[in-house]
Amino acid sequence: MGFQSVRDLIVKGHRVFLRADLNVPLKEGKITDATRIQETLPTLKCLLEGGASVVLASHLGRPEGKGFEAAYSAAPVAAWLKDQGIDCRQASYVNGPAVEAEAAALQPGQVLLLENLRFEKGETKNNPEFAASLARLADTYVNDAFGSAHRAHASVSGMVADFPRDRVAAGFLMEKELKALGKVVDHPDKPLVVIFGGAKVSDKIELIQNFLGKADAILIGGAMSYTFLKAQGFEIGKSLCEEDKLEMALDLLKQAEAKGTRLLLPLDHVAAVAFKEDADCAITVDQNIPADRMALDIGPETVAVYAAEIRAAMTLLWNGPMGVFEMAPFASGTLTMAEELADAADRGAFVLVGGGDSVAAVNKAGVATRMGHVSTGGGASLEFLSGLELPGVTALQH
C-alpha cells in the first residue's frame, strides 16, 4: 500500500501526534455514542504501551473557527478517556506556546488531548503556519482518522511533510480501511459484483465509471435506477428521476457494454400511490411503473436475479440502499440484499459495505458483524472507491 503501519514504528521515548476521528455525538456535554473513540483505542494503546507519549487531536462538530466554543470543546472526550483508565489531560487550546509547553512536559504513557482542531480556521484552510504549529508538538506522526482522509486539512495532510519519512505511519483503523478498500479496487478475487443504490446517479458517476471493466456485474437499485430506466424509454410514473442526467445514464450503459461489465437494472418494482408508509402499494408487472405511482423498492423478481448474482461472486461491494428501507413496506429489497451479502461472507466471499445508508441497513438487518468489512468513512470511502486520491492517504505515502 506504500505506507508504514504504526506497528512498524519504534516509539519508545518519542512524542507522537495522533490524528484520530473523535467526532462523537454529544448531548448536554455527554457522549451518546463512543464508537469512534473505541475504534481508535487499539492505535492509542499500541503507542502508549510502546513507551510513547501522545498528543491526540481531532475535530468535533462544526464550530465557527473563531476560537474556543464551549459547546464544541473536546473536554467530554478527555473525560471519557480518563474513565477508561488512560492517563489523559486536556490541553489549554489547539496550538501556541502554552500548548507546546504542555506537550513538552508529557511523560511516556501520557496523553495530551488538544482542543477541537476546528476552533482555528487554519485547520480547514490547510494554513501552512497552523500546520507547522501542530507539527512542533511532536516528532512522530500517525493518522488513524480514515473518515477525514478525503479532506486536505492541516492535521490530515498539511503537517505531514514536516516529519521525517520514517516517522510517519497509518494507525490500525486507517490501515484496516485502506487494505479492505484496496482489495476491492485493486486486486479482487473474481467474480467481482458491485451493488449500487441510493437516490442520485450524479452522486455515483465516478463510482460506477471506476468499476466499469473491473466488475463482472453492477447491480443498480434505489431511485438512481429510475433515471437509467427512463433513459431507455421505460415509463417511471411519479418516481424520482434526474432529468438532466438521462444522456449520461445512456452513456454509462454504452460504456458498460463496451468494457464487458453487465449493468443490471430492476425488472420489477414495489410501487406506491404516495411516499407514505401506509400508502396503497403493488408490485409492477414489468419494468414500467404506472403513471399514478412511484417506485419505492425493487420487486421480488429483481431480488431473485440480484441474489443469484451475489451467490456467484467472490468479491462484493455494496454502496446505497435498494429502496426506502426506513419504511417497512419498502424495506424488503434492501434487507434481503443485506442477508444475501452476509450469507456470501459466511461462505468465504469478501464483502465490503461502504456508505452511511448501507451501514445503517446492515445494522438494521442485524448482519453487520458477518460482513468482511464495514467502512466507517462515508465520504472518504466513496472517494477512494471512485478512484480519487485522498489527501490524507497521499500524505502518508510520500
pLDDT digits (tens, 9 = 90+) for 294-340: 999 999 999 999 999 999 999 999 999 999 999 999 999 999 999 99
For residue 1, name the pLDDT band (cuts at 50, 70, 90).
low
Of 15, 19, 36, 167, which is the active-site residue?
36
Say if residues 156 and 129 touch (Cβ distance below 8 Å).
no
- What are 132's three cell numbers? 507547522
- What are 274's three cell numbers? 404516495
Say if residues 318 and 352 touch (Cβ distance below 8 Å).
yes
Taking residues 378-382, report their average pLDDT.
87
For residue 187, name the pLDDT band (cuts at 50, 70, 90).
very high
Q: Which of 311, 385, 376, 371 is nearest to 338 (CA)?
A: 371
> Binding site annotation covers 213?
no
> Binding site annotation covers 21?
yes
Cα of 81 vs its chain's centroid, Å:
24
User: What pLDDT sits at residue 376?
Assistant: 75
Query: pLDDT tens digit string along 232-241?
Result: 999 999 999 9
Q: Residue 65: left if φ>0, alpha if ψ -120 to 50, beta else—which one?
A: left
Of 200, 214, 238, 259, which is the active-site residue?
200
> Binding site annotation covers 60?
yes
36 included as an active-site residue: yes
171 included as an active-site residue: no
Taking residues 263-288, report their average pLDDT.
97
Lowest-pLDDT range, 121-125, 128-132, 386-390? Answer: 386-390
167 included as an active-site residue: no
pTM of the predicted protein model: 0.88
User: What pLDDT sits at residue 393?
Assistant: 95
Q: Residue 13: left if φ>0, alpha if ψ -120 to 50, beta else—which one?
A: left
> Binding site annotation covers 15?
no
Mean pLDDT estimate for the chain? 95
For residue 379, name the pLDDT band (cuts at 50, 70, 90).
confident
- What are 174's three cell numbers? 486507517
Centre a 10 Å sphere on the Cβ of residue 295 and count the other Cβ atoms it contains.
30
Task: Give the rounded percent of residues in the chain with a pLDDT score beyond 70.
Answer: 99
> Binding site annotation covers 61?
yes
> Binding site annotation covers 356?
yes
Domain boundaries, the chain: 6-174, 188-385
Residues 70 and 145: their CA atoms lie apart, in Å, by 23
Of 65, 96, 182, 356, which is the active-site residue?
356
Taking residues 54-77, report their average pLDDT.
96
> Binding site annotation covers 151?
yes
Q: Which of 58, 66, 77 is nearest to 151 (CA)?
A: 58
Say if residues 254 and 275 touch (Cβ distance below 8 Å).
no
Taking residues 42-60, report their average pLDDT.
98
Taking residues 34-42, report their average pLDDT.
93
For residue 56, name the pLDDT band (cuts at 50, 70, 90).
very high
User: What pLDDT sits at residue 200?
Assistant: 87
The answer to whether the peptide bond before residue 128 is cis (omega within 30 degrees of 0) is: no
Q: Is the pLDDT of residue 83 over 90?
A: yes
Of 65, 109, 378, 379, which is the active-site residue?
379
- What are 268's three cell numbers? 420489477
Residues 231 and 59: their CA atoms lie apart, in Å, by 43
Residues 314 and 66: their CA atoms lie apart, in Å, by 50
| Residues 188-385, CATH architecture | 3-Layer(aba) Sandwich (3.40)
Taking residues 116-143, report their average pLDDT.
98
30 included as an active-site residue: no
**What CATH class is the domain 6-174?**
alpha beta
The dihedral formed by the CA atoms of 116, 118, 121 and 124, expressed in degrees to the nearest 10: 140
> Binding site annotation covers 59?
yes
> Binding site annotation covers 23?
yes
User: What pLDDT sits at residue 107?
Assistant: 98
Say if residues 225 and 252 touch (Cβ distance below 8 Å).
no
User: What pLDDT sits at residue 250?
Assistant: 96
Q: Is the pLDDT of residue 355 over 80?
A: no
Reported as half-sphere exposure (CB side, CA atoms, 13 A), residue 77 has a value of 30
Whether the domain at 6-174 and the domain at 188-385 fall into the same CATH topology: yes
Q: Is the pLDDT of residue 356 over 80?
A: no
Q: Is the pLDDT of residue 90 over 70?
A: yes
Query: pLDDT tens digit string along 99-122?
Result: 999 999 999 999 999 999 999 999
Say if residues 261 and 216 touch (Cβ distance below 8 Å).
yes
Residues 385 and 366: their CA atoms lie apart, in Å, by 25
Query: pLDDT tens digit string along 357-372?
Result: 888 899 999 999 999 9
> Binding site annotation covers 189?
no
